[in-house]
Amino acid sequence: MSGRTPAGRPALLDAGLGVRGAFTTRGGGGGAAPFAGLNLGDHVGDDPARVAAHRAAVRRAAGAEHLVLARQVHGAQVVVVDGPPAVVPEADAVVTTRPELALAVVVADCVPVLLADPAAGVVAVAHAGRPGMVAGVVPAVVAAMRDLGARDVRAVTGPAVCGGCYEVPAAMREEVCARVPEAWARTRSGTPAVDVVAGVTAQLLAAGVRTGRVQACTVEDGRFFSHRREGRTGRFAGVVRAAAGRLSWA
C-alpha cells in the first residue's frame, strides 16, 4: 500500500455533548504498520502527506473550516484560539468559541477529554496523561472555559489505558495519588497502577462538570492506537466543534 494512500471515511464514536464531538478510531485511514489506520499524529514518524490527508478527512467530518491542534507536552498550559493560527504554541488544552474551528487532541493511551457548554458556545479539548493530570490541566481548562462565559460545562473522557493495564512503580503511584487520590489502582495481577481516567473524572466532578465516559481501554481494544501495547504507533483523536449535531462525513 502506498505511503500516500488517501484517507477514507473516518470511523467516529459520538461523544454526546450536545455539540459536534467524537473520538476517532483506526478505521478509515491508509498506510502500513506501525501506523496502519487513521493515524493523526505528525510526530511519530509516519508519512506527513498521509497524516495531512487523515487530518483533512477529520476536519471535513466535523464540518469545520480548520482543524486546530497544539503541540502537546504533558503539561497544564491552556490556549484560547479565536482563529486559525499558523502555529499553535505548546499546550495540552485548547478552548474556542468559534464554530468554524474544530479542536483536536491526539493520544495513544492518555485520556482525551472533550468539554462543551452548548448554550454558551464554548468548547475545549484536553490531553490528560498522568503528568498532565497531576499538573492540573483539567481544572485549568475548565477555568478557561468559564472565563469565556461557560456555566454548564459537560465533559466526556475518551478511550484510554485503564487502571488494570497501567502498571507503574509503587513510588510513582504514591507520588501521583498524593495529588490525585482517586487515581490509586492495582493491575489485574495486583501490582501498583494508576487509573488516569478515574483521576481525571474526579477532577472534573470537583470542578462541577457533568461527566460521561467512553468505556474502552486502549491497551485491550485494537480499534485504537496504544503506545503501551505496540510501542511505536500512531495516534487517534478527540475532536469537538461548537456546533450542534453529530459529526458526519461531509
pLDDT of residue 7: 67
Residue 95, Ramachandran bin (φ over 0: left; ψ between -120 and 50: alpha; else beta):
beta
pLDDT of residue 249: 57
pLDDT of residue 242: 93
pLDDT of residue 244: 84
Closest CA to 110 of 191, 224, 29, 247: 224
Residues of the chain below pLDDT 70 = 1-7, 86-87, 249-250
To the nearest 5 percent, what fractions of the chain are helix, strand and coil?
25, 25, 50
pLDDT of residue 8: 74
Q: Where do the domains of the chain lie, and which CATH numbers do they carry?
A: 12-241 (3.60.140.10)
Residue 238 CA to residue 212 CA, distance in Å, equals 14
pLDDT of residue 245: 82
- Classified as helix, coil or strand, 196 is helix
225-249 pLDDT, tens digit per residue, is 999 999 999 999 999 999 888 877 5
Give this prediction's pTM: 0.93
pLDDT of residue 250: 46
CA distances 175 to 53, 110, 186, 204, Å, are 41, 18, 15, 20
